[in-house]
Amino acid sequence: MPRRENTPIKRTIRRDQLREMIPLADSTIYEMEQRGEFPRRFALSPRCVVWDLAEVEDWLAARRSAPLARAPHPDVRQRRTRPVKGLDRVAGVALKGG
């Protein structure tokens, strides 16, 4: 996410306010920051970090407008434990029993 260096910061939010807006774990937010996928925090003092509210709101708007790509469903036929029976085996058992 590109930083807006020229835009003055009008309002900042602390971690509690960020958690109210973004229901993600701290570790997830930190990892997304490191990858450049979330606005970076900055320190006001050695013990106080904040986020630019405008950057967080822009990130939310971008996430809302872009659909999230979901992971494909796993192929259950490749499981090693409890493999799924093929349709031919199920049909063969039904034919023998009938």
Q: pLDDT, tens digit, for every residue of 43-72? A: 999 999 999 999 999 999 999 888 777 888
Instruction: Please give the residue range of the domain that contains residue 50.
Output: 1-67
Please check whether residue 33 lies inside any domain of the structure.
Answer: yes
d(Cα 14, Cα 51) in Å, to the nearest integer?
7
Count of domains forming the chain: 1
Say how many residues make up the chain: 98
Which residue reads 């490749």 in tokens? 78
Which residue reads 């630019």 in tokens? 52
What are the tokens at 37? Answer: 């996928």
Helix or strand (DSSP H, E) at 30: helix 26-35
Side chain identity at residue 2, one-letter code? P
- Which of 5-9, 21-25, 57-61 is predicted with the least confidence, judged by mean pLDDT? 5-9
d(Cα 26, Cα 86) in Å, to the nearest integer?
44
**Which pTM value belongs to this model?**
0.62
Please check whether residue 73 lies inside any domain of the structure.
Answer: no
